[in-house]
Amino acid sequence: MTILSSIRPFPTVLALFALGMAPVSPLQAQESGLVAGQETGKSFVETFSSLDKKRWYISDGWANGDHQNCTWAADQVKVADGTLSLGFVRKETKDRKHACAEIQTHARFGYGTYEARIKAVKGSGFNTGFFTYIGPTHKQPWDEIDFEFLGKDPSTVQLNSYVNGKGGNEKLVPVPGNADTAFNDYAFVWEKDRLRYYIDGKLVHTVANPAALPTHAQKIYLSLWASDTLTSWLGKFSDPAEPVAAQFTRVAFTAPGDPCQFPESVACSLK
C-alpha cells in the first residue's frame, strides 16, 4: 500500500491490526484544542460548489486490503451542481478489476455534531460510508464512528463504533424510503458521555456505554467500495452493468457551543 492514510479494517478482518495499543493523546474533552500536537478541526458546512482541497484529501492509487475489490481512484471523485459523486466502475486498476472512490478530511475532529446528506448505492457487495476514523496508520489507537450503507439492503443503515480496535456495537436501523432512492439526512452527536444517531432529524439510537464511546479526534471519511469476499456482511458481489455512484450534497461539523449552521441541522435543536 503506497499511502496508509486511510487504512480501515472491517468486522471480519480485525486481525489486520494489533488491538492492544495503549491510548495515545486522548481528546481530554477538547479543552486544549490540541490532539497529538494538531489543532482539531473547526465547525464547517460543505455544500460542494467545488471540492476544497484544503479541507479534503482524495484517496488515490491503493486499496484498503485484500477484502476490497477496487482501487481508490481520483477520477471517480466528481463534483457538479452542488453534488459530490463517488463512483464505482469496472476498470483495471493495478491488481483490481474495479475503481472506486473515497475522500477524507485533512483535519481531525472531536466532540460535536457530524452531518451528511446522502443517497447511497444499491447492490449486493457494496458499502457506502459516512464515518469518522483514526488508527494505527496515524500513530493513534483505532477509534471509529459509522454510518455504513450495505447495498444488499438499502432499507436499513448500519450504525457502529470502535474503541481502541474493539467493535461489536453494530445496529441496523430503518431508513425512510430506502437509502438509495432519495437523499436523507444522517447525523451523529458525539459527546464525552454518549453518542446519538439521527436520521432526518429523528433520534434513532443512543449509545451511553463508556466502552463503546471513542475518545480520540478523528478524520471524516466519505466512501464507496465493494468486496468479493465479505459475503457474510455485504452479500455476494453483483457487478453492475453500468457505473454507479454514491451522492452527497452536504457534509457538516458543528463544534459544541457553536451556533447551528443551517436550518435542518440537528445542532439547532440539541439539548
Integer CA distances (angstroms), 103 to 125, 139, 142, 172, 256, in order: 20, 20, 19, 24, 24
**Is the sign of the CA dihedral 24, 224, 117, 171 positive or negative?**
negative
Maximum CA extent, the chain: 51
Identity of the residue numbered 164:
N
Q: How far apart are CA 99 and CA 94, in angstroms?
A: 10
Grid cell, residue 214, equals 471513542
To the query of whether residue 170 is one of the catalytic residues in this protein, the response is: no
123 within 8 A of 244, measured Cβ to Cβ: yes
**Is the sign of the CA dihedral 241, 10, 169, 250 positive or negative?**
negative
Q: How far apart are the first and last CA of the chain?
A: 44
Write down the catalytic residue from 46, 102, 115, 148: 148
To the query of whether residue 148 is one of the catalytic residues in this protein, the response is: yes
CA contacts within 13 A on the Cβ side of 125: 16
At residue 184, the 3 state secondary structure works out as strand
Write down the catalytic residue from 46, 102, 115, 144: 144
Grid cell, residue 114, equals 457530524
Q: How far apart are CA 194 and CA 192, in angstroms?
A: 6
Q: Which residues are catalytic?
A: 144, 148
